[in-house]
Amino acid sequence: MEIKLNLLRLIALLLIRMPMAITLPETSCNRLKIGENWFDKKVVWAQSGRPYNLNVHKSTNSLFFSYSTPETYSDLDFQLVTINLDTGEKHTIAGIRGGCSVAIDEVNDEIYLGGTDGIYKYNMLTRLADFYKEKGKNIWSLFYKKNLFYISYPDQKLHIEIDEKFPLVEEFENIEMTHFHVTSDNYIYFANKTGLFKYNSKEMLFELINHLITVRQIVEDGDGELYVCTNVGVYILTIEGMVKILNVKNLYGLAFDRDNNLIYSDEKRIVKLLYSEKGCLSHKEW
Ligand SMILES: *[C@@H]1O[C@H](CO)[C@@H](O)[C@H](O)[C@H]1NC(C)=O
């Protein structure tokens, strides 16, 4: 008798508990996992055209990027856009032909943009892009670290701004480059069609890091951690090597917002990851 009662109570308890247990991890949910943490995916932008060169202007939490607009079947064009990540306000940046590159100097609060006809500076108040320098030059990529750097197209050579001019960076004169990055600790990384390299400036040596990946963007987060966005996923770069943190194909860009949330782009969307207490039971990647 005693046992029977206890059993009934146990079953009653189970019945009460069960629905709760079921609602905890959701089977179909819009989250993904990085390491041990789960993140909600919030779509920031969705349109046809691949978003490239994601960069956040931290003081206004504004994302800058370019997306590809297929003009004709043979020709690809680019358009620059900015979105305020707090308000969602969007602006298409007018007046830059083939606008594809972005570099932000947070210290002096300058936003540099590049296209097929030189470098521009963007004014957040007037929303205008004013011509800056390098008329007639095709600016493939821009980077700012104490100086402004750009990679020219189609020769893919690295230039540095010194005394109003943009000479080639001597160490890299004979090397093609697609991406360039100097870390907060002054390590130099670059990528080209051969692979991802680190430049050892003391010994003037090029160290190969990986030749199997196609680099899409090299970015530091708010804590100075270095990330490489590639055709096969996202890696963290340390002195010891590369660790993959997102095993995802078809990513095109990567950035971190003011609060250090990760933002990535795939073929047609820009997504921001927000930390979630909840996980998912099974998760299909993308
Ligand atoms: C890429 O850089 C490496 C290291 O400097 C160099 O050996 C290689 O020739 C470069 N590839 C191209 C296509 O320029």
- DSSP code string of 163-224: TTB--B-GGGTT---SEEEE-TT--EEEEETTEEEEEETTTTEEEEEESS--EEEEEE-TTS
What's the 28 CA to ligand 1 centre distance in angstroms?
Answer: 45
Residue 264 is assigned to a structural domain of this protein:
yes
36: containing domain: 27-276
> Are 231 and 1 spatial neighbours (Cβ–Cβ below 8 Å)?
no
Q: What's the structural domain count of the chain? A: 1
Q: Strands of 147-153's sheet, edge to edge?
A: 138-145, 147-153, 158-160
Give the position, in ligand 1's atom list, of the atom nearest the Cα of 172: 5
Q: In CATH, what number is assigned to the domain containing residue 198?
A: 2.120.10.30
Instruction: Report if residue 53 sits inside a domain.
Output: yes
Q: Is residue 37 part of a domain?
A: yes
In a domain, 3, yes or no: no
Q: Is residue 224 part of a domain?
A: yes
**CA distances to 51, 105, 245, 273, 278 from 32, in Å:** 20, 32, 11, 8, 11
Q: Note whether residue 35 is domain-resident.
A: yes
Which of 175, 177, 198, 214 for a ligand 1 pocket mutation test, highest count of atoms within 8 Å of Cβ? 175
Q: What is the pLDDT along the chain (286 residues), one digit of tens a residue?
A: 455 556 555 555 554 444 444 445 455 678 888 988 999 999 999 988 899 999 999 999 999 999 998 766 556 689 999 999 999 999 999 999 999 999 999 999 999 999 999 999 999 999 999 999 999 999 999 999 999 999 999 999 999 999 999 999 999 999 999 999 999 888 999 999 999 999 988 888 999 999 999 999 999 999 999 999 999 999 999 888 899 999 988 899 999 999 999 999 999 899 999 999 988 876 554 4
pLDDT in the model for residue 285: 45
Is the CB of residue 187 below 6 angstroms from any atom belonging to ligand 1? no
Distance, CA 31 to ligand 1 centroid (Å)?
Answer: 39
Q: Ligand 1 mean position to 225 CA, how many Å?
A: 25
Q: How far is the CA of 261 from the centre of ligand 1 (A)?
A: 33
By C-alpha distance, which of 234, 237, 252, 236 is closest to 52?
Answer: 252
How many Cα atoms occupy the beta-carbon half-sphere of 171 within 13 Å?
Answer: 14
Phi and psi torsions of 109, nearest 5°: 55, 55
Residue 258: CB atoms within 10 Å: 15
Give the pLDDT of residue 21. 42
* 156 Cβ closer than 6 Å to some ligand 1 atom: no
Does the CB atom of residue 206 touch ligand 1 within 6 A?
yes
pLDDT for the residue 9: 59
Closest Cα to residue 101, out of 180, 17, 209, 202?
Answer: 180
Is residue 20 domain-resident?
A: no
Q: For residue 79, is it within any domain?
A: yes
